[in-house]
Amino acid sequence: MRALSARGSLSAAQIARLTGLAKSTVSMALAELRRADVVIEIGSDAAGSVGRPATTLSLNPEAGTCIGLLIGQSEIQVIVADVAHNVLTDTSLNLERDYDPEHAIRLIRELISDAYAEQWRSQAGLLGVGIAVGGPVSNSSGEVMRGGIPRWTGINLQEVFGPIFDAPVFIDNESNCSAIAEMTWGAAQGFDDFVVFTLDLGVGGAIVSGGKVLRGIAGGGGEFGHVVLDPDGPLCRCGNHGCLEVYASFIEPLDEARRHFGQPGLRISDVVQMALDGDELCRGLIKDAGYAGGRGLGLIGSVFNPPLIVVSGRLAPAGDILMGPLSEAFERYSLVKSGDVGEETRTILRPSQFTDNGGCMGAVGLVLRNHGGPLH
């Protein structure tokens, strides 16, 4: 059940390989689960075996739901999904930067209540709540650490949200959650080793090795935005000077676009769309952010030399406008150049397949992978 919950749909042979159980054991367990209507057939995979196609199975969508919650730099988002990986509702609210946590918590409770009411569902079947936070989170306590959202720093999310739900609460950094979404449904499917690089109002990242997110001993692993490029540079929100985020964050470019167009409510997605429509100012802002990000990404590439880098965040839908200068800077500043190695050993740079909900979908994935205990 944990294997199906984590992967969505699998054949019996795939379950046996993933769990290490004997095929006969898997067959007997599946027979019992199908009789109990916990597992259902959803189709056949012609590539599953020679001869008769393999039957594809999933958990019954009625077996339970999970909640994904994003606490971002300037937005909150709630996704409700079932155990078969179907998204039932996806709602987000844009807020002012550095918004009040108490107000946001009230809004979150209302969004979740409304989401279940719209689906005519009860929270009685809730398996868990996953929370993605725009900053590092302590592995041991669930406390938001320095370098995250300023007014949330020091808040213990387990203590805040645990009493609200009669279900387990799982918490992680937004970029780590994005990595879970990418390997479950997105651009990193089929890769066990890759890096996520997030360009947004903040700059973040995640490291995946052997199919597992490397969180670090305290929860600060993958915080690429706070790699110091110039100790004499501008002050960063984390308290250090000259961090990559100071140069590649889209906060100042977004403010510039708002002033230029006289639209204080302009969002990153609006700037991206105008750039795609040909606006030169917006194109220039995104190109500059991409090159600055690629310069820092070259350092990350030299350290990890990963097979795949997935570029996520709300700038990713800009496509080549972003990826062109980012790739150029990565090539210039990383140790291993594309001409040094064959195509099969070059790092692939690929934009995320998620436009605006990768972190929140990864929070859903936190629950799907961990309720009842992790698969591995």
CB neighbours of 145 closer than 8 A, spacing ≥ 6?
135, 136, 137, 138, 153, 218, 219, 220
Helix-helix angle 251-261:280-304, to 10 degrees: 180
DSSP conformational letter for 236: P
- Residue range 239-243: mean pLDDT, rounded: 93
- Across-strand partners of 173? 133
- Residue range 333-352: mean pLDDT, rounded: 93
- Residue 205 pLDDT: 92
Which domains can be identified in the chain, with CATH numbers? Answer: 2-62 (1.10.10.10), 64-179+358-370 (3.30.420.40), 189-351 (3.30.420.40)
Task: Dump pLDDT digits (tens) for 181-225.
Answer: 999 999 999 899 999 999 998 899 999 999 899 988 888 888 899
Task: Dump pLDDT digits (tens) for 267-293.
Answer: 999 999 999 999 999 999 999 999 999
Sheet holding 39-45, edge to edge: 10-11, 54-59, 39-45
Q: What is the band of 373 on the pLDDT scale with cuts at 50, 70, 90? A: low
- Residue 50 pLDDT: 47
Q: Is the pLDDT of residue 129 over 70?
A: yes
Given a contact cutoff of 8 angstroms between Cβ atoms, the answer to whether 249 and 235 are in contact is no
CA distance 153 to 145: 5
CB neighbours of 85 closer than 8 A, spacing ≥ 6?
8, 9, 58, 185, 368
- The whole-model pTM stands at 0.85
Considering the chain, what is the average pLDDT of its residues? Answer: 88
**Per-residue tokens: 6:** 């984590």
